[in-house]
Amino acid sequence: MKYVIALDAGTTSVRAFVYDIAAKAFVHRAVQEIGQSFPHPGWVEQDADEIYYKCAYVLNDCIRFAGAENVAGVGITNQRETVVMWNRETGEPVCPAIGWQCRRTGAWCAALDEETKALVHARTGLVPDAYFSASKIVWNFQHIACVKELLRAGKLCAGTIDSYLIFKFTEGRSFVTDVTNASRTMLFNVHAMQWDEELLHRFRIPRGILAEVRDSDAHMGEIDVGGRRIPIAGVAGDQQAALFGQACLNAGEGKITYGTGLFLLFHTGAECIASESGLVTTAACRVRGKKAYALEGSSFHAGSGIKWLRDKLGLLSSAAESEALAQSVPDTGGVFFVPAFTGLGAPYWAPDARGLFAGITQSTGRAELVRAVLESIAYSARDLADCMQRDSGVPLASVRCDGGASANDFLMQFQADVLGKPVDRPVERESTALGAAFLCMLALGLTDEAEIASLRRSEKIFFPDPSVRERRETSYRQYCMAVRRALL
């Protein structure tokens, strides 16, 4: 077998990559954009059928390129927390998928009693919030008639994108997920590594509608391609897959992914550290049966802010244009942006906060606004890094970066200056897909963790500039003042 395929089912696009096992590199990729809908302010929905069919399209494209007989297996990584509800008998989704950014269940989460909130945090490592999957499942129970009918009939499945895709690809033979995706539902006990019966009971979610939980390097099922069964082997939520793809396999190693949102994960090894700073504890990829954990902080909006500048305000013709525009001015002229389109995530957990520009004057122009949005991404990461170092007691020596916006040299240098730490950009920036490929190869016995660690190569390391340190500290404090305004 020459290849493995990594399927990356993201928030705004789905992509498949052919990884050449001998060359140790991606040699082909296929991409399809997927839509989002916003039926009410703060609501985010997606069409699960569209996600499945476009995933099938890019997967088939890669199988045709490689030849089915040459494909050892398929690894899957996916946007997390998004919930799909489908008919167990037909495999058809019965309502729109509720996206991870959706805030419709914020009031439900806020209304939980203090005992339940404490139990959620103690058992799952999460902060009760609309971000996570449980409240989305409950909302569908309460508002979608056919969901209630299928539930009564014992024909309902509820799951994250990975479990839905595997169910579809295997024609219903496999209803499974992995520990990383399960750990994002607010229903999974990260200490016992199983669904938490008490939380299921409190939220009135039957265990039978949820997938079987397996390790991240487990065999998940098989896809029938022209009479040949190709294994689905290796699954992880996108951020944990990126952590793995960046070869952050040991305690003290961390990475930032700049995607639709911004995600900072800090590996804590086998130690499950409870955050006191508003971060969440999450399962890292569990391989070879070994428990692994990470502290995670997430900003709901990073790349989506650039997309907003382009699509809604018309200030950019392309995302790539933002770098040159930001560098065309010496600073923002005192303008700060708070990216709270759908509330603020860690460490604030303020679902009612909304985005704002602060400090606008008559001299403020297009370049200053664009630069302020880029700078806000780096400031969000600083918020999270400070919390992580306090919770773990371990200073970040450096941070690895990936995702679309990591290609922006201005942003990466500004990030290093704001953090006061080197930012290490790899040669292969598709860390999420790379993590899925590595997990697949581990599951099939085609590599080991030592080889994975040796494969990572730095393309460029951005070192903090000591001459701007005081200026960046002052601007960060001013950004924090703008955040406080958004919280009012």
Strand order in the sheet with 423-426: 280-283, 293-299, 262-269, 254-258, 399-402, 423-426, 458-462
**Looking at residue 316, what is its pLDDT?**
86
Strand partners for 400: 255, 424
Band of pLDDT at residue 419, cut at 50, 70 and 90 = very high
Structure tokens at 271: 């130690």
Longest dimension (CA), the chain: 67
pLDDT digits (tens, 9 = 90+) for 74-85: 999 999 999 999
**Looking at residue 295, what is its pLDDT?**
92
Sign, Cα dihedral of 474, 477, 478, 479: positive
Measured at the CA of 449, the angle between CA 444 and CA 452, to 5 degrees, comes to 95
**Looking at residue 98, what is its pLDDT?**
97
Neighbours of 447 (CB within 10 A): 19
Pair 160, 80: CB distance under 8 Å: yes
How far apart are the C-alpha atoms of 100 and 159, rounded to whole Å?
Answer: 13
Sign, Cα dihedral of 7, 301, 119, 106: negative
Residue where the block lists tokens 């058809």? 92
Residue where the block lists tokens 């487990």? 218
**Looking at residue 279, what is its pLDDT?**
87
**36 burial class (0-12, 13-18, 19+ CB within 10 angstroms)?**
middle
How far apart are the C-alpha atoms of 229 and 208, rounded to whole Å?
Answer: 27
**Looking at residue 343, what is its pLDDT?**
82
Asked whether the predicted pLDDT for residue 303 surpasses 90, the reply is no
CA 337 to mean position of chain CA atoms:
22
**Looking at residue 135, what is its pLDDT?**
96
Q: Helix (H) and strand (E) counts for the chain?
A: 16, 23
**341 burial class (0-12, 13-18, 19+ CB within 10 angstroms)?**
buried
pLDDT digits (tens, 9 = 90+) for 463-484: 999 999 999 999 999 999 999 9
How far apart are the C-alpha atoms of 319 and 371, rounded to whole Å?
Answer: 12
How far apart are the C-alpha atoms of 185 and 133, rounded to whole Å?
Answer: 4
- Mean predicted confidence (pLDDT) in 151-165: 96
Asked whether the predicted pLDDT for residue 300 surpasses 80, the reply is no
The architecture CATH gives domain 3-237: 2-Layer Sandwich (3.30)
**Does the global pTM surpass 0.85?**
yes
Strand partners for 84: 159
Residue 118 carries which side chain, given as an amino acid letter? A
pLDDT digits (tens, 9 = 90+) for 15-48: 999 999 999 999 999 999 999 999 998 899 999 9
Sign, Cα dihedral of 49, 51, 52, 54: positive
Structure tokens at 228: 């040949």
Asked whether the predicted pLDDT for residue 341 surpasses 90, the reply is no
- Range name among 141-155, 161-175, 306-320, 415-429 with the lowest pLDDT average: 306-320
How far apart are the C-alpha atoms of 327 and 313, rounded to whole Å?
Answer: 20
pLDDT digits (tens, 9 = 90+) for 262-272: 889 989 889 89
Domain boundaries, the chain: 3-237
Residue where the block lists tokens 């309460």? 142
pLDDT digits (tens, 9 = 90+) for 75-132: 999 999 999 999 999 999 999 999 998 999 999 999 999 999 999 999 999 989 998 9
Measured at the CA of 76, the angle between CA 251 and CA 261, to 5 degrees, comes to 65
Band of pLDDT at residue 70, cut at 50, 70 and 90 = very high
Asked whether the predicted pLDDT for residue 397 surpasses 80, the reply is no
**Looking at residue 156, what is its pLDDT?**
96
Pair 391, 275: CB distance under 8 Å: yes
Structure tokens at 374: 């880029």
- Mean predicted confidence (pLDDT) in 56-73: 96
**Looking at residue 318, what is its pLDDT?**
86
**Looking at residue 345, what is its pLDDT?**
79
**Looking at residue 30, what is its pLDDT?**
97
- Mean predicted confidence (pLDDT) in 451-455: 90
Measured at the CA of 134, the angle between CA 129 and CA 139, to 5 degrees, comes to 95
Structure tokens at 473: 């500290």
